[in-house]
């Protein structure tokens, strides 16, 4: 690259020849040396915790979710999948799954999927979703508590029982769930309005629907149509 630069080629021309980005070529030429490749880290984040994992497994704790929580408390920064994979590969006697394989099964859900399972009515979940939900609730006491509180709030919303709001807020305050506590703080700032929303059957759903329709018609004009045409299209859509 240095030779090409001395020949008068631009950074972009050099980048096209060597198959790199122009910014990379510019930075390399600025230091006038080829950057050394960083040494690849050996091992993984779990290596230093493996003795503890083996010890807990030998003590009879075959719940990987519980072991994972204990590792997090000890400073582990890796993923649940890494812990699960290492434990399964190192089980004694070459058995991939012991008799309590339900405890070994990983939690195969993303946060978005978990939120869906928490908010959905249990009786409307499919069998596989119900199994996943049970697994999530058994993974940690705080997860189970969070599910109960979320379901209580959802039930208030469905049945318009806003009179139970104060009792629910008290439960959240006593819990050790900062995410729900933050949500409760927001409710406290406008509690009367929230209670009204959880009690009254009146809502602005129809108004919001008309506003959405109006915005859609307006955007279809791509900003080029005037008000007379917009008015005609709105009246025609009614």
Nearest-angstrom CA–CA distance, 56 and 91? 13
How many domains does the chain contain in total?
4
Is residue 121 located within the same domain as residue 180?
A: yes
Is residue 89 located within the same domain as residue 116?
A: no
* N- to C-terminal Cα separation, the chain: 67
Q: Determine the structural domain holding residue 54 and report its residue range.
A: 47-104
Is residue 136 located within the same domain as residue 79?
A: no
Is residue 133 located within the same domain as residue 96?
A: no
Residue reference for tokens 């390399």: 28
Domain presence at residue 40: no
pLDDT in tens, the chain (238 residues): 677 777 777 777 777 776 677 777 777 677 666 555 555 544 467 778 888 888 888 888 878 778 888 888 988 888 777 777 777 666 554 344 444 444 444 445 677 888 888 999 888 888 888 878 888 888 788 889 999 999 999 999 999 999 999 999 999 999 989 989 999 999 999 999 999 989 988 878 888 888 999 888 888 887 777 888 888 888 887 7
Is residue 183 located within the same domain as residue 126?
A: yes
Domain presence at residue 41: no
Q: Which residues, 6 or more positions from 129, have their beta carbon under 8 angstroms from its beta carbon?
A: 117, 120
């Amino acid at each position: 690259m240095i030779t090409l630069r001395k020949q008068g080629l631009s950074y972009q021309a050099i980048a096209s020849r060597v198959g790199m980005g122009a910014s990379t070529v510019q930075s390399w030429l600025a230091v006038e040396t080829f950057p050394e490749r960083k040494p690849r880290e050996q091992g993984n984040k779990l290596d230093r915790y493996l003795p503890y994992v083996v010890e807990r497994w030998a003590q009879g704790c075959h719940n990987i979710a519980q072991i994972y929580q204990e590792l997090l408390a000890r400073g582990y920064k890796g993923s649940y999948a890494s812990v699960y994979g290492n434990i399964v590969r190192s089980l004694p006697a070459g058995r991939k799954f012991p008799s309590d394989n339900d405890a070994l099964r990983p939690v195969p859900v993303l946060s978005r999927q978990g939120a869906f399972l928490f908010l959905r009515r249990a009786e409307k979940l499919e069998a596989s979703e119900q199994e996943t939900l049970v697994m999530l609730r058994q993974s940690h006491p705080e997860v189970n508590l969070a599910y109960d509180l979320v379901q209580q709030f959802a039930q208030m919303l469905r049945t318009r029982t806003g009179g139970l709001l104060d009792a629910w807020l008290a439960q959240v305050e006593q819990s050790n769930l900062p995410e729900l506590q933050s949500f409760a703080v927001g409710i406290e700032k406008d509690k009367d309005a929230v209670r009204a929303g959880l009690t009254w059957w009146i809502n602005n759903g129809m108004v919001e629907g008309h506003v959405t329709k109006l915005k859609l018609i307006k955007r279809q004009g791509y900003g080029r149509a005037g008000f007379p045409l917009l008015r005609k299209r709105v009246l025609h859509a009614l």
